[in-house]
Each structure stands twice: as structure tokens, then as C-alpha cells.
Amino acid sequence: MLPARLPKSAVPRTYRRIAPTHDGLAVLVEAQARRLGLDWFDAQDGETLLEVAVGTGLSFQHLLRANPNGWTEGVDLTPAMLRKARRRAEHAATDRYRLREGDAYALDYPDATFDGVLNSYMFDLLPVDDFVPVLREFKRVLRPGGRLVQVNMTPAAHWYQGGWEALYRLHPALLGGCRGVRTAPFLREAGFLNVRRRFVSQWTFPSEVVYGEKPAAGHVP
């Protein structure tokens, strides 16, 4: 994995610039992986759900559609991205949600609050040393037995998918600071169970979808 080159302190500034054009590229190259991530997440009506790094709300709108009578929270570090997410969420047929500023490293929720946590295209910005601490933070806010689904940019599986990381090497901001990562081993290290991963490529852009569960109460390792 290439080193992360966008420090957290630069994320809101960088994504304020990206917010107006973010969705074009995202729809073009991330839609299939996002769809698979939502399928694996399998949001049910009546659940309490969290999306971390909700961005412009591309996945959040699907969570609201699936969960009109439960409660859905979305957090992001960048106010400009959240403004777009709010506009998108206003079209939903439910007001049982909240979107607010929040940091994946220190989620402002009590332990065991959520049935599921969804997180897409954020770990590709983080330093590898931060993977396990942030995954433990996701695990903390999940109820026992709750699930985590991540969608990430991932390293190329074939030469013709390598152009995206070449762009990152050239100038990390061109890809919003995203480079390919593989998070499944880190989910296991953070104590998630039943971890699985699938590789998805759309227009040569390589993504991974990763699933894991917090151990149920009384689980014996």
C-alpha cells in the first residue's frame, strides 16, 4: 500500500474544493462497488444505523430509503460535503435521520449504539497505522453482533487498473488523496469476525468491499 499523503487537517479544505464535482467521478467508477456494499450491509427498516464519512450522501440516501422508521446517523469531517448530503436527504420520505460534523477517530456516540456502521472511500485517505484504532472505534459504537461494511479504493489486480494509483503518485489531490488499500486483515486484527472481501472494478477503477461483525455477547474466541 502506498503511504497516505493527505493529513487529516487538510481534509476539509481539500474536500471543500472537491465537493462540487465529487459525484461525477464517484457515479462513473464507484457505483458498482457502492451497490455491492449496500447489498452486503442489507439495511433493515427499524434499525439504528451510522454512516461514517457520509460525503455527499450517495449511500446515505439508500439507507434512508431502506430504513424510514428506524434512525440513521451520518457524520463527516467536511462541512461542504455535508451540505450536499443534507440537500440530497431532504428528498427522502423520512425525517428520521441526523447529519452532522464528526470525526471517525472519535465518534460522539456511546458504546453499542448501532446495528450497523457503513464507511466508504475513507480508509483510502488514512495512514495504515491508524487503521486498527479507527476500526476499534467503529467496533466500540456497534452493538454486539453488529456489522461493519467498508468500500475502499484498493490496489490494482491487473496492470490496466494501475493508472489510478499512477495519478495519486503524480499528485495525490487529483484523487482526493485516495490510494488503494486492503483493510480485511486489519478488521481481523481489530477483532471483527466473519470477515470477507470482494474486489470490484468499474472503468478500470479498483475497489474492495469488506464485511465484518462485532462478536456477539458471550462469544468465546
Ligand X SMILES: C[S@@+](CC[C@H](N)C(=O)[O-])C[C@H]1O[C@@H](n2cnc3c(N)ncnc32)[C@H](O)[C@@H]1O
CB 19 within 8 A of CB 78: yes
Among 38, 43, 122, 187, binds ligand X (CB under 6 A): 122
Among 43, 49, 53, 200, binds ligand X (CB under 6 A): 53
Q: Which stretch binds ligand X (CB under 6 A): 118-126, 137-145, 191-199, 207-215?
A: 118-126
Report in angstroms how near the CB of residue 106 gets to ligand X at its nearest. Answer: 9
Q: Is 132 exposed, middle or buried (0-12, 13-18, 19+ CB in 10 A)?
A: middle
The sheet with strand 114-120 has its strands ordered as 97-101, 71-76, 48-52, 114-120, 142-153, 205-213, 193-202
Report in angstroms how near the CB of residue 159 gets to ligand X at its nearest. Answer: 24
Nearest to 98 by CA among 142, 64, 135: 64
What is the x/- site pattern for ligand X, positions 80-109, by CB under 6 A?
-x---------------------xxx----
Report in angstroms how near the CB of residue 147 gets to ligand X at its nearest. Answer: 17
Report in angstroms how near the CB of residue 12 gets to ligand X at its nearest. Answer: 7
What is the x/- site pattern for ligand X, positions 12-51, by CB under 6 A?
---x----------x-------------------------
Establish if 130 lies at the interface with ligand X (CB under 6 A).
no
Using CA atoms, how far residue 138 sits from 20, 78, 185, in Å, is 28, 19, 15
CB atoms within 10 A of CB 3: 8
Q: At 61, phi and psi to the nearest 5? A: -60, -35
Helices (H), the chain: 11-18, 22-41, 60-66, 79-89, 131-141, 163-170, 184-189
CA 33 – CA 55 distance, rounded (Å): 16
**Cβ nearer to ligand X, comparing 81 with 209:** 81
Among 11, 36, 50, 187, binds ligand X (CB under 6 A): 11
The residues of the shown chain that bind ligand X, judged by CB under 6 A, are 8, 11, 15, 26, 52-53, 55, 58-59, 75-78, 81, 103-105, 120-122, 125, 176, 178
